[in-house]
Amino acid sequence: MSAGHALLVGGGHAHVAVLEDWIANGLPCASASVLSPDPLLHYSGMVPGVIARRYRKSEGTVEIAALAERAGARYIAGRCVAIDPDAREVRMEGGQALEFDIASLDTGGVSAAERVLGHDDRIVAVRPIARFVDDLGRVLARREPCRIAVVGGGAGGVELAFALRNGDGGDAVTLVTGAGGLLPDHAPAARRLAARELLRQRIAIASADARIENGELSAGPASLEPVELIVPALGSDPPHWLGKSTLACDEAGFVSVDAHQRSISHPFVFAAGDVAARLDWPVPRSGVHAVKAGPVLAANLRALCEGREPLASHKARRAHLYLMATGRGEAIASFGPFAAQGRWLAALKHGIDTRWIAHYADLARGA
């Protein structure tokens, strides 16, 4: 017996795989809806390329609304502000309530910038990504000299620093890595390549924790002023509405899920991507793992809707391939202890990213 109504909350990377399954195999339930504030998914892997003007903005998007229509689901333009899993209800901005029998959350997280750095009008938060691309475009469109500080020394921060240096506004870029230094979770070989390329592109490195006090951005004891734009690549916090629900969450506030992406407290609720925390196995919050979780989520949603026990699981490898575009036609690869740099790696990254986008573009068009 199929479930009554399935609700996908958020148009993230994992949910596009669910919609692909529904297009290919039909709805596993009587009816379904997709709630998302944006009809487009901005693919995170191509955002640095958009900033560096290697791609047009439209080339890095997937049409969530079109995929939902092809799958036979209703697309609802709106933002989730509350979930009551006991009443099986999601509430939108404006107060409208959406009921569900089975729900899946893939909303992404929210920016951690204000919590970590403090408030500053010069901050352009990376999350949500759609707003980031638009807000950054408006700032850089002024065509004025722009001194930029990218805060965060991980792969995301490094790639954004390269992109901003080679885009419209990167007159002077400083990468504030934090006390952990450059690429702290990567091998020395990758750190050396990244440091060499940052030096080559005249991107300054500040290896201290950033803070904003009295309107001044500092790294350790050193002031970084003057700065016109602050881009924090600091990871994500959970959406505030999760903490007000009865869903079990980890200490950081993300939805606690099992190996099957299912809530440990409410087995008819699933979660994937930045909003979820796997309890059985450490899975980094990144676009690549959200993509890999998609087919697992699709299989388990179908199983539960059809009255079967979810069985599919995705176990992340201990070593992950990272491809960081330099903004100048090359990429730096980091995989466990190995690292390399070259144009062929940029071509590899381009192929991976554009094939993923093209696949879902074809699905949305019915090709």
HSE-CB for 129 with a 13 A CA cutoff: 27
Q: What pLDDT does residue 293 have?
A: 86
Which residue reads 């790639």 in tokens?
A: 159
Residue 18 · residue 301 · CB < 8 Å: yes
324: how many CB neighbours lie within 10 A of its CB? 30
Q: What pLDDT does residue 271 have?
A: 95
333: how many CB neighbours lie within 10 A of its CB? 20
Which residue reads 């107060």 in tokens?
A: 95
Q: What pLDDT does residue 1 have?
A: 43
Residue 50 · residue 60 · CB < 8 Å: yes
Residue 148 one-letter amino acid: I
- Low-confidence stretches of the chain (pLDDT beneath 50): 1
Residue 259 · residue 281 · CB < 8 Å: yes
pTM of the predicted protein model: 0.92
356: how many CB neighbours lie within 10 A of its CB? 18
Which residues lie closer than 8 Å to 186 by C-beta, 6 or more apart?
Answer: 155, 322, 334, 339
Residue 332 · residue 190 · CB < 8 Å: yes
